[in-house]
Amino acid sequence: MFKDEILENERRRKIYALIEANPSVHFRELQRMTDMPLATLEYHLDYMLRKKVVFAESDAYHKRYYTKPLDAADKKILSALRQARMREIVLIVLANTKAKYQFLSDCTKMPHSTLSFYLKHLIDNNILVKEKIGYDTFYTVRDEDRVVRVLTAYKASFLDKIVDRTLKTWIETRFRGETGNVQVT
């Protein structure tokens, strides 16, 4: 069967369109977006997975869906960025190049245990790097270019205006020295 034939079914077409618009969406979020019964959604997703129309990846907590295979590092980044609080942490660090633990705590207003949990997850997934200098702990983005590329490619699926502002700021500061005057719209 070809992809077009598989997507002739209205429900599968709707599911596919939502996954395409929101790559790395997890099962329960997809269920909320489609408003389909769980069994129906699971049936159609399993069918599309068997026919290789969509792809799935399981992380510690969610099974995430994609319409095309992604690089493993991009999947980890996108999976973390799908969670609002982790995205907020990454964007703060990205906007400031380097961020102290206390600065992140002040900006996010998260309990220390929650912030530590998210930071550990981001470090374990090679998104952030932890550096201790004296008594201070600093966090930086491991691969800024890759994170920005993922944010840019999928920013339409993030509903935050902070993503747009952070990307604009990052581009302006990154290329200010190279090109002189940068116009970002």
Domain positions in the chain: 3-69, 70-185
* Fold classification of 70-185 (topology level): Arc Repressor Mutant, subunit A (1.10.10)
pLDDT for 113 equals 96
pLDDT per residue rounded down to tens, the chain (185 residues): 678 888 999 999 999 999 998 888 889 999 999 999 999 999 999 999 999 999 998 877 788 898 887 788 888 898 888 888 998 899 899 989 899 999 999 999 999 999 999 999 999 999 999 999 999 999 999 999 999 888 887 777 665 666 666 666 776 776 665 544 434 43
Rounded to the nearest 5 degrees, what angle is found at the Cα of 21, between the Cα atoms of 49 and 146?
A: 95
User: Are 45 and 54 spatial neighbours (Cβ–Cβ below 8 Å)?
Assistant: yes
pLDDT for 160 equals 60
DSSP track, 84-120:
HHHHHHHHHHHHHSSEEHHHHHHHH---HHHHHHHHH
| 176/171 Cα distance (integer angstroms) | 8
pLDDT for 185 equals 39
User: Are 65 and 52 spatial neighbours (Cβ–Cβ below 8 Å)?
Assistant: no
pLDDT for 78 equals 87
Q: What is the pTM of this model?
A: 0.68
Q: What is the CATH number of domain 3-69?
A: 1.10.10.10
Q: Who's near 43: CB < 8 A, 6+ residues apart?
A: none
Render the burial of 84-114: b for 16+ CB within 10 Å, e for the rest.
eebbbbbbbbbbbeebebebbbebeebeeee
Common-topology check for domains 3-69 and 70-185: yes
Closest alpha carbon to 75 in 66, 84, 83: 66
Closest alpha carbon to 124 in 158, 80, 154, 91: 80
